[in-house]
């Protein structure tokens, strides 16, 4: 199912709604081109967890934010085409069961961590600020899940 938002503020609102329904151990994969709103969406998730000040971890690759549930925010953009060892060095497995993990640009990486995750494909809509989000469930936890 595809959802459409008309502004980055609505993107954050949708992220807050999703964040309020996430539980420890949940993994999200965010796919979308540059500027599609991935980080704005994660900011909304963070707000639901009592976390402010989320920025893209493009250059640090991974950042853990303390909140009511810790949020691990990974941007694997700079790892695309690199050896798996660089991703494995993040040691996400040691924190994931007690956190919510969101991986941007994580195709091929998230599957190394879990069989169950929610993939959200973000794209541009028809209007200048319009974005589309399509939820793709992987595993029983996410079957029937709506944004």
Q: Are 120 and 133 in contact (CB under 8 A)?
A: yes
Q: Tens-digit pLDDT profile for the chain (147 aa)? A: 899 999 989 999 999 999 999 999 999 999 998 889 999 999 999 999 999 999 988 767 789 999 999 999 998 877 666 655 566 666 677 788 999 999 998 888 888 889 999 999 999 999 889 999 999 999 999 999 888
In DSSP terms, 73 is beta-bridged to 63, 102
Q: Is residue 43 part of a domain?
A: yes
Q: Is residue 56 part of a domain?
A: yes
Q: Is residue 145 part of a domain?
A: no
Predicted TM-score (pTM) of this structure: 0.91
Q: Is residue 142 part of a domain?
A: no
CA 59 from centroid of its chain's CA atoms: 17
What is the domain extent for residue 21? 2-132
Q: Is residue 146 part of a domain?
A: no
Q: Which residues contact 131 (CB under 8 A, 6 or more apart)?
A: 4, 5, 11, 36, 37, 122, 123, 124, 125
Domain count, the chain: 1
The CATH number of the domain holding residue 127 is: 3.40.50.300
């Amino acid at each position: 199912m595809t959802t459409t938002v008309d502004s980055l503020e609505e993107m954050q609102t949708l992220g807050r709604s999703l964040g309020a329904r996430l539980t420890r151990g949940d993994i999200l994969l965010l796919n979308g081109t540059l500027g599609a709103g991935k980080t704005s969406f994660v900011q909304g998730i963070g707000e639901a967890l009592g976390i402010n000040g989320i920025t893209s971890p493009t250059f640090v690759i991974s950042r853990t934010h303390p909140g009511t549930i810790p949020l691990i925010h990974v941007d694997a953009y700079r790892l695309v085409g690199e050896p798996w060892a660089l991703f494995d060095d993040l040691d996400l497995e040691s924190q994931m069961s007690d956190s919510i993990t969101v991986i941007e640009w994580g195709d091929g990486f998230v599957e190394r961590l879990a069989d169950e995750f929610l993939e959200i494909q973000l794209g541009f809509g028809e209007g200048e600020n319009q974005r589309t989000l399509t939820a793709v469930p992987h595993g029983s936890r996410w079957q029937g899940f709506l944004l």
